[in-house]
Each structure stands twice: as C-alpha cells, then as structure tokens.
Amino acid sequence: MARHPHWVPAYIGLGANLGEPLQQLRTALASLAQLPDTRLVAVSPAYRSRPMGPQDQPSYINAVAGILCTLEAEVLLDSLQAIERGMGRAPGGERWGPRIIDLDLLVYGDKVVASNRLVLPHPGIHERSFVLYPLADMAPTLKVPGRGSVQALRAAVPENDLLRLEDSLTT
C-alpha cells in the first residue's frame, strides 16, 4: 500500500439522499475512522440541501470530514470508493443523481492533481455551498490550493436553501 512519508490533512465531502441519509453518513464516518494509516479528526455539522442535479429526487444531507493520513491520495481515493461500494453504491449511475452515499476527496494537503482518476482540489469545491459551509464550520482558514481560503470562498457562494441540521453525526 502506497504511503506518504508524513501525516497529511485531507478533507472528504459526504453526501446521501437515499435510505436514511443521516445514518448513511454516520456509517461512512465509522468506516473512515477504521481506514488503516488514517485518523478521523473532525466532522462538520450536517446540512440539508436541494439536489444539484435532477430535482425529482430527495434532498441531500451533506457534511465534511477532516482526516490525517499517510495514504497517498490515489490510495485514499480507492479506499473511499471501497467504502461506497461496501455501503451499496453501484459504480456509474446518473450524474448528480440519487445516492446511498457519495464520498468526494476535496483537498489533500497542498497537492494539486489533474489525472483521469483524480482531480485535486475537487473541481467543484469553490462553487458548492453544501461543501463550503460545512467545511468552513470546521476549517475556515484552510487554504484550498489555487482557490484561496475556505472562509473567502464561502463568502462568495450564496447559502441558497442550505439548512444546517441539529442532528449530530458523531453520536
């Protein structure tokens, strides 16, 4: 397994709108916490948002997890996809369609990547309120490579119909 020589902070976007979305996020967080060479160190509050794609689907519940890991970014991506498959997400599917779980690697240290498999930072991070608001709750001063601080990015994106939930993801 490819490892990085030191601990790297990474941020993962979580989303679900099928089944019991809050429970799906909790299950995914528990799986993240069990990954080898990885420490789950922070979890944002959950937010309800309208679907980004087709509107004839349930609202999403979104959150962001902060981890430290020694896994290389591509290995971490493989691990996230394995968690998705383990939770019942079939590969492929409708773009921006309903999901039992969606795990996106948003930021991996200061790494910038543009490959067929992985783009870092996540290409939509700077325009998605359902990513920026939870990310700003836990890491407002985080610098997104090539984009600026999370706090500044959030200030430039309208909240729209985003609703912060009182339910805790860590209980």
Active site residue 154: no
Distance CA 113, CA 116 (A): 10
Of 48, 89, 128, 154, the catalytic one is 89
Active site residue 137: no
Work out the burial of residue 42: count CB atoms within 10 Å of its CB; fewer than 13 is exposed, 13-18 middle, 19 or more buried: middle
Active site residue 102: yes
- Say if strands 102-108 and 38-43 run parallel, antiparallel, or are unpaired: unpaired
Of 37, 50, 78, 104, the catalytic one is 104
Of 48, 102, 128, 137, the catalytic one is 102
- Say if strands 60-71 and 47-49 run parallel, antiparallel, or are unpaired: antiparallel
Of 48, 99, 128, 154, the catalytic one is 99
Catalytic center residues: 89, 99, 102, 104
